[in-house]
């Protein structure tokens, strides 16, 4: 990260803070709503993320690399996508938790296509979200959406993973 981008990020955050403070002082309703939404969102994330990161840390320690390579690695075949979708369906916290889990899976030897399938599946087929959706849209709608979405996720993930692996793509480790 460059010094210039750090300055821009700091200036943007400061401008946002000043905007929200002046909105509360002068009664600017949209600015007050933005500030309240940011505060409630921050509280919700503080409730979810610490527990999720503890579980991710335990996953890093308890699950062996060999297990991930066997079930989600290069030699695992189509079953890897089934396991990735099953894991994604049980992930709580949405993509805020899915991205660190995906990074951990990748570091433990999961193939790139399976990582894409896991991330996409955690965005579209989490169990709590699907139950909520079925209660409003109906179970038939939810089943149709999953039956159409999941094969598309698997196919596109396989193609994208294969393409990027041919190009020699690797995730960069920071730090």
Q: Which two tokens stand for residue 16?
A: 């946002």
pLDDT by residue for the chain (175 residues), tens only, comes to: 577 778 888 999 999 999 999 999 999 999 999 999 999 999 988 888 888 889 888 988 999 999 998 999 888 888 889 999 999 988 877 788 888 899 999 989 999 999 999 999 998 888 888 888 999 999 999 999 999 999 999 999 999 999 998 998 877 766 5
- How many CB atoms are located within 10 Å of the residue 44 CB? 12
What 3-state DSSP class applies to 33?
helix
Q: Which two tokens stand for residue 143?
A: 């089943």
CA distance 132 to 122: 15
Tokens 């610490």 correspond to what residue? 50
Query: Residue 18: its pLDDT value, please?
Result: 93
- How many CB atoms are located within 10 Å of the residue 101 CB? 21
Domain boundaries, the chain: 1-49, 63-175
Query: Residue 51: its pLDDT value, please?
Result: 85
Element (H, E) at 78: none
- Whether residue 117 contacts residue 154, with contact meaning beta carbons closer than 8 Å, is answered with yes
pTM value is 0.77
Query: Residue 174: its pLDDT value, please?
Result: 63
- Whether residue 106 contacts residue 122, with contact meaning beta carbons closer than 8 Å, is answered with no
CA distance 11 to 154: 41
């Amino acid at each position: 990260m460059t010094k210039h981008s750090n300055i821009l990020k700091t200036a943007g955050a400061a401008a946002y803070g000043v905007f929200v403070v002046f909105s509360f002082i002068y009664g600017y309703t949209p600015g007050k709503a933005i500030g309240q939404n940011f505060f409630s969102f921050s509280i919700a994330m503080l409730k979810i993320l610490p527990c999720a990161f503890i579980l991710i840390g335990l996953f890093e320690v308890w699950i062996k690399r060999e297990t991930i390579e066997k079930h989600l690695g290069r030699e695992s075949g189509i079953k890897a996508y089934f396991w990735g979708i099953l894991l994604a369906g049980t992930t709580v916290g949405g993509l805020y938790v899915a991205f660190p889990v995906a990074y951990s899976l990748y570091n433990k030897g999961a193939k790139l296509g399976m990582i894409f399938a896991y991330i996409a599946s955690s965005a579209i087929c989490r169990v709590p979200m699907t139950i909520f959706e079925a209660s409003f849209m109906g179970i038939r709608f939810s089943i149709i959406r999953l039956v159409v979405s999941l094969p598309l996720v698997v196919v596109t993930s396989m193609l994208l993973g294969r393409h990027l692996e041919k190009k020699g793509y690797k995730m960069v480790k920071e730090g």
